[in-house]
Structure formats: C-alpha cells, structure tokens
C-alpha cells in the first residue's frame, strides 16, 4: 500500500527535505521543491522588491504557471507597482495573484490611512500578514527570498523550514551572498527595481521605507528608528517576529 508523502508531519518532511538537498545549490533546491511530493502544493510569495527578480526569473524558466503571490498593501511605492507589471509581462508569469486586505477591515481598523504612524505592527498585520495567511491556505509550502546575510534572525536559515506545523517555507537563496545576487542579475541582464539606484536596497511600503546611506546595513531603511526588523510575515515559535532575536531563537 502506497502512502501519501504528505501523511508525514511538517517537521518530519522538513527534516527529510533538508537532509536530501543539503548539498544542492539554489536552482536545484527550487527546481526540486516545485516537484517533490513531500513539498506538496507550492507557490512563490514575492514583494517584487530589490532582489525579487532572481527567484521570479528562476521560476519563469522552470515553470511559468507557478503561483506567484504579490501582496499589494495599498501603501507601496508607485515604482513597485510599475515594476511588478513590467516583470510579470517580461517574464511571462502566467499565475500572478495580487492580494489585498479586505476593504471592510481597512475601513474598520485604518479608515484614514494613518495606522502606520501609530502602530506599525498593527498596520503590517492588517495590510500584509493577515491577507497573506489567508492566501497561503491554498498551499502546503511557499517559496521565500530570505537569506542568511539579511539579519541576525536569519543567520542559521535552512533551505526548508517548518512554519508552525502548518506548512513548509522554502528558502532556495538561503546561502547566497549579495554578490551572488548581483552576478545572477548581471549575467541574465535582469531589470533592477528603479528605487535601488536611488538608495533603496530593501524596499517595503513607502511610509516605512527610507534611503540607506553608504556603509549602513541594507535593511536599516526599513522602519528606521524602531525596534523592528520584520513585517510579521515570518514566524518564530508561533509568534510574529517583531524585532531582533537572539541567535538561539531563530527559526528552525
């Protein structure tokens, strides 16, 4: 009798997947994740930000019909919205799903659009985290662009992560360095997000993103001056990440 590969728990599948692909490169991990039965239904969540074009390009080569989830917080830079349309067309992505918070929830919680000025965590939850969690219900796994070099909370990032025993997070670029990203974009002649040239190496919502000076951490322009390094999409021990965490508490 054949067993369904998804009958195993998420933690068991993550352990087996990390063991199976421990010595593979980013493209191999991504390609295998798209078809490995233990991964299941999978989609890419993309911000269409500064580095997003790398995974989007890989997906366009491997399977253009892969679901690509784009969260429009309705507070994004105009350049991001234009870049999203440009890349989707150029790469011929056929299954881009644009999601937003319900207008009813926005009207109830942030009717005047100023919630970010009072409570950035609540704004991220309303406009980004909650809509994404709803969108992810259709998947057994999702692909992220997270990398070890981005923050202390990501220093031990694996290719496959267990997200609250609900689904798997796949991080094909976990081991890539900034120069790997630049080389990939250059070698494939991929268009950069227009704000990168204006000093935005990490791009989120317009009200909470500022330019980064030379020598600063690339993510220092996100929620500048606040004890916050994540929007809340990624979870640690069942809780949304709100700020820097000791290395031993990082995601598994």
Is 205 noted as a catalytic residue in this protein? no
Per-domain boundaries in the chain: 5-197
Q: What is the mean pLDDT of residues 159-184?
A: 94
What is the distance between the alpha carbons of residues 122 and 202, in angstroms, rounded to a whole number?
A: 21
Cβ neighbors of 20 (< 8 A, separation 6 or more) are none
Cα–Cα–Cα angle for 169, 170, 171, nearest 5°?
120
For the chain, the 3-state helix, strand and coil shares in percent, each to the nearest 5, are 40, 10, 50
Phi, psi values for residue 28, rounded to 5°: -70, -40
Question: How many Cβ atoms sit within 10 Å of the Cβ of residue 177?
Answer: 12
Predicted pLDDT of residue 7: 86
Q: Are 42 and 59 in contact (CB under 8 A)?
A: no
pTM of the shown model: 0.85
Selecting among 123, 124, 205, 231, the annotated active-site residue is: 231
Predicted pLDDT of residue 2: 54
Q: What is the mean pLDDT of residues 162-187?
A: 94
**Domain range 5-197, CATH architecture:** 3-Layer(aba) Sandwich (3.40)
């Amino acid at each position: 009798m054949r067993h369904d590969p998804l009958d195993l728990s998420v933690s068991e599948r993550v352990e087996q997947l990390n063991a199976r692909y421990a010595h593979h490169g980013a493209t191999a991990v991504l390609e295998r994740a798209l078809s490995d039965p233990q991964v299941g239904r999978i989609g890419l969540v993309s911000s269409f930000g500064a580095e997003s074009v790398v995974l989007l390009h890989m997906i366009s080569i491997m399977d253009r019909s892969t679901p690509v989830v784009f969260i429009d917080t309705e507070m994004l830079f105009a350049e991001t919205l234009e870049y999203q349309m440009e890349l989707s067309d150029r790469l011929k992505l056929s299954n881009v799903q644009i999601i937003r918070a319900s207008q009813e929830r926005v009207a109830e919680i942030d009717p005047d659009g100023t919630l970010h000025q009072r409570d950035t965590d609540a704004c991220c939850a309303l406009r980004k985290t909650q809509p994404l969690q709803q969108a992810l219900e259709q998947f057994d796994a999702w692909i992220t662009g997270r990398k070890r070099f981005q923050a202390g909370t990501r220093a031990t990032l694996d290719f496959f992560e267990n997200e609250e025993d609900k689904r798997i997070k796949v991080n094909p670029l976990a081991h890539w360095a900034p120069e790997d990203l630049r080389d990939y974009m250059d070698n494939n002649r991929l268009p950069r997000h227009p704000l990168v040239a204006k000093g935005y190496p990490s791009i989120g919502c317009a009200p909470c993103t500022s330019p980064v000076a030379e020598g600063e951490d690339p993510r220092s322009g996100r929620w500048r001056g606040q004890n916050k390094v994540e929007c809340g999409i990624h979870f640690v021990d069942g809780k949304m990440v709100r700020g820097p965490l000791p290395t031993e508490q990082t995601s598994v």
